């Protein structure tokens, strides 16, 4: 079905990109904390950002850049300080960061996008940044994708990276991506960053539309604890180095590109949910039979984010009642006597009424899924059908564990 394959190289797999990740001394831990993604040529740029009223300086900065000129040469990301709730000085720091990198790369600061993650209320350590930028630029290479993936994470347990390749006009077209995840732990690590590179050739407005739709079907459908951060940022570059004809309207090549972009985003989104704080498994909720896709997505998100469902999964408890209750309160109209619920291969509810099922076997399914026993995947699958509508939607989450409470309660100031 899929028209693409997984390739190596992550964010530097597409043609014409270099990347780097170094330790600049921004994190107290001495872990890598400064990342660069660089396109050899000016790339068109698209972005999706947090909708929070409390935003980091870099978010406002990127929004401005995107409105002024939807193209870029580089993305600079620091980890350690979120530069959110830092007022005018935080804004000045953002401007200076872009100027410093522009000077070092000998490009206009207008071609640079910025992202930050780390402690809210803390400015970027500018001295360390000033010293770090020349080293960062010197380190940039076509093999630097994994280094960049490492330098953007904070409390994530693993790096998140992927690259896919398809063929358009008999030429290879590639999309790579890296992301950092769900850890919004004390002291306020900011949540979701994703950077995407593509060597395809595509018109700016199409690229932005594709990204928006891909984000809606991936990052906007994951939930770890329902909280949205001050710094959430997804930026996607496309530099046309594949030398394919520029895609300027929807059609088969555009569809191919968008499907691959969506697959990259979904891979990263699932990796983030799976790496949720304290999580033992990924929960995938598939909703069908809804009046429309949007309603289906809403019901899927509500189920995936229910604390009661999440803790039942952690307890390996095939609790259809909590799933039904979450579906019922999602704000989407349906007839309760048409509701069907499946957990993995087990039918738990049909036409709104509970079925007899083998509880032990179903509990075992949850246990084995958490152990990654199924196809090397640690995924618990919940399927819900609301009725006869054609709307479908998927959401991803993780279970709620003691570890989540520990991480978020015990790392006190």
Report, as residue numbers or ranges, the catalytic residues. 191
Please identify which residue in 86, 208, 340, 342 interacts with a copy of itself, judged by CB under 8 A: 86
Q: What are the helix and strand counts (H, E) for the chain?
A: 11, 15
For 20, list phi and psi in degrees, rounded to 5.
-150, 155
d(CA 38, CA 41): 9
Name every residue whose Cβ is closer than 8 Å to that of residue 205 and which is 6 or more positions away in sequence. Answer: none
State which of positions 184-243 bind a copy of itself (CB under 8 A): 184, 186-188, 225-230
Comparison of 372 and 387: residue with beta carbon closer to a copy of itself: 387
d(CA 127, CA 206): 40
Please identify which residue in 13, 198, 272, 349 interacts with a copy of itself, judged by CB under 8 A: 349
Kindly state whether residue 408 participates in binding a copy of itself, applying the rule CB under 8 A: yes
Which of these ranges, 72-80, 104-112, 281-289, 398-406, lies near a copy of itself under the rule CB under 8 A?
398-406
Please identify which residue in 25, 291, 315, 372 interacts with a copy of itself, judged by CB under 8 A: 315
Q: Which two tokens mark 140?
A: 């940039």
Which of these ranges, 27-35, 98-106, 137-145, 328-336, lies near a copy of itself under the rule CB under 8 A?
328-336
How many Cβ atoms sit within 10 Å of the Cβ of residue 294? 13
End-to-end CA distance of the chain: 50
Count of residues that bind a copy of itself according to CB under 8 A: 70
* CB 2 within 8 Å of CB 119: no
State which of positions 89-118 bind a copy of itself (CB under 8 A): none
User: Rounded to the nearest 5 degrees, what angle is found at the Cα of 213, between the Cα atoms of 207 and 219?
Assistant: 110
Rounded to an integer, what is the distance from CA 142 to the centroid of its chain?
A: 23
Residue given tokens 């935080």 in the structure block: 90
Comparison of 28 and 251: residue with beta carbon closer to a copy of itself: 28
Nearest approach in angstroms of CB 88 to a copy of itself is: 9
Please identify which residue in 71, 161, 306, 342 interacts with a copy of itself, judged by CB under 8 A: 306
Cα diameter, the chain = 69
Comparison of 39 and 50: residue with beta carbon closer to a copy of itself: 50
The residues that touch a copy of itself, with contacts defined as CB under 8 A, are 50-55, 85-87, 119-121, 184, 186-188, 225-230, 305-308, 311-312, 314-322, 324-330, 332-337, 339, 349, 351-354, 359, 363, 400-402, 404-406, 408-413
């Amino acid at each position: 079905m899929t028209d693409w394959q997984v390739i190596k190289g992550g964010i530097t797999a597409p043609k014409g990109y270099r990347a780097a990740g170094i330790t600049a001394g921004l994190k107290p831990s001495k872990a890598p904390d400064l990342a660069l993604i660089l396109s050899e040529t000016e790339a068109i740029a698209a972005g999706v950002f947090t909708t929070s009223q409390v935003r980091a300086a870099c978010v406002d900065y990127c929004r401005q850049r995107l409105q002024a000129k939807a193209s870029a040469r580089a993305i600079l990301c620091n980890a350690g300080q979120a530069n959110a709730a830092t007022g005018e000085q935080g804004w000045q720091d953002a401007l200076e960061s872009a100027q410093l990198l522009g000077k070092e790369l000998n490009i206009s600061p207008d071609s640079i996008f910025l992202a930050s993650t780390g402690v809210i209320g803390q400015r970027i350590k500018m001295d360390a940044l000033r010293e770090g930028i020349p080293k960062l630029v010197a380190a940039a290479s076509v093999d630097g994708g994994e280094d960049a993936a490492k330098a953007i994470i904070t409390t994530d347990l693993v790096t998140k990276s992927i690259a896919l390749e398809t063929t358009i006009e008999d030429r290879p077209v590639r999309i790579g991506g890296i992301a950092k995840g769900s850890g919004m732990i004390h002291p306020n690590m900011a949540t979701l960053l994703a950077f995407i590179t593509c060597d395809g050739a595509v018109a700016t407005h199409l690229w932005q539309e594709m990204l928006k739709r891909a984000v809606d079907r991936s990052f906007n459908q994951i939930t770890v604890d329902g909280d949205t951060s001050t710094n959430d940022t997804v930026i996607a570059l496309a530099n046309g180095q594949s030398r394919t004809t520029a895609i300027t309207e929807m059609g088969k090549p555009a569809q191919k590109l968008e499907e691959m972009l969506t697959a990259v985003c979904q891979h990263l989104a699932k990796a983030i949910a799976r790496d949720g704080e304290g999580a033992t498994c990924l929960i995938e909720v598939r909703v069908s039979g809804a009046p429309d896709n949007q309603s289906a997505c809403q019901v899927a998100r509500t189920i995936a984010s229910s604390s009661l469902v999440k803790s039942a999964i952690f307890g390996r408890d095939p609790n259809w009642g909590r799933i039904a209750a979450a579906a019922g309160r999602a704000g989407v109209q349906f007839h309760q006597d048409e509701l069907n619920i499946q957990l993995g291969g087990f039918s738990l509810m049909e036409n709104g009424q509970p079925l007899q099922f083998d509880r032990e076997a179903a509990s075992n399914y949850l246990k084995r899924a958490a152990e990654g026993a199924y196809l090397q995947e640690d995924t618990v699958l919940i399927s819900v059908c609301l009725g006869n509508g054609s709307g479908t939607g998927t959401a991803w989450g993780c279970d709620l564990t003691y570890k989540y409470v520990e991480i978020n309660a015990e790392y006190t100031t």
